[in-house]
Structure 1
Amino acid sequence: MRSEVTELREITRLEQVVVSSSIVCNKCGKQAMYRPLPDKTAKDEQQIQMQSFECSFGYSSRYDNENWSFELCEECLLELVRSFKLVPQGFRSSDYDLYDETKHQKIFEHWQRTGEWEPFKFHSYEELLEYRKLFNEDYFASLVGKYYPERLRQYRRKSEAMHAAREFGGCDPAL
């Protein structure tokens, strides 16, 4: 028969821990410093976001059997993406986007030329009207005014009529 005698002892030891780490953008050389939080996640102190990339090259590639990894800050990543012919899947999009792949490509090309991401730029007036209940009235009127200024007065008139009809129990007239 075996038995063990146990007691509580305080043990102190030296342990090497990471107190900060840095990531450097391979393109521009910007450095982001991170400090681990108590829950072992990292906190970005400078708010410079970095993205990591890994590339593995297969047989018959010019870089046969090489594995690359590099970091890019968001600024350099956007500069790279701006040079693309086709919009990357998921770029500036979410589950709530109100455009199809063709419009997404047109919006991307507009962004490449102007630097402005305008998700409603390539919608017809009728398509915009389909989304009017998703936005507050002032924002939606600003969209109509931006993309269809010639129809803004007409939209406001019909919008006012629609609100008046609702107040008196009427139906929702088409704009």
Structure 2
Amino acid sequence: MRKQVRKEVVKTINTLVSHSTYCNKCGKERKSIIEDGGYDRCTDHEIHEFNCSFGYHSNYDGENWNFDLCEDCLKRDYSIV
């Protein structure tokens, strides 16, 4: 004889649903919402990530710089957008 026992199990999942990125120059916030499937949808100001690695014989030998800048700061201060 077999007896089956069924139990309802509720699983809690900790998942990222939103995050913010800030411009390192002016502090402007870019809010992103993580949608189903992991798609990152930006809700306002576009901010770009920069990574700089300095080689030998530079003033910053072996340093790595990582920073975020919004399009407004790029356009106003660096005239590249």
**Alignment TM-score, normalising by the size of structure 1:** 0.39
| Cα deviation, residue 44, structure 1 | 1.4
Structure whose alpha-carbon radius of gyration is higher: 1
Decide which of 28, 31, 41 is 1:30's aligned counterpart.
28
Distance in 1 of aligned mates of 2:51 and 2:26:
18
Q: Within 5 A, what are the aligned runs for 1:19-98?
A: 19-45=17-43, 47-82=44-79
| Cα deviation, residue 80, structure 1 | 2.9
Report whether the alignment pairs 1:13 with 2:11. yes
Q: Which structure: greater strand fraction?
A: 2
Distance in 1 of aligned mates of 2:8 and 2:64:
47
Shift in alpha-carbon separation, 1:66–1:11, aligned structure 2, 3 A: farther
Q: Tell me which stretches of 4 or more aligned residues in structure 1 moved more than 6 Å.
A: none
Q: Which structure: greater helix fraction?
A: 1
| Cα deviation, residue 61, structure 1 | 1.4
Structure 1: gaps spanning 5 or more residues: 1-8, 83-87, 92-175
Counterpart for residue 4 of structure 2? none
RMSD (Å), alpha carbons: 2.0
- DSSP 3-state at the match of 1:76: helix
Distance in 1 of aligned mates of 2:32 and 2:8:
32
Percent identity, aligned pairs only? Answer: 37
- DSSP 3-state at the match of 1:16: coil
Distance in 2 of aligned mates of 1:53 and 1:11:
45
Which structure exhibits the higher relative contact order, with contacts defined as CA atoms closer than 8 Å and separated by 6 or more residues? 2
Look up the equivalent residue of 1:36 and give its one-letter code. Answer: I
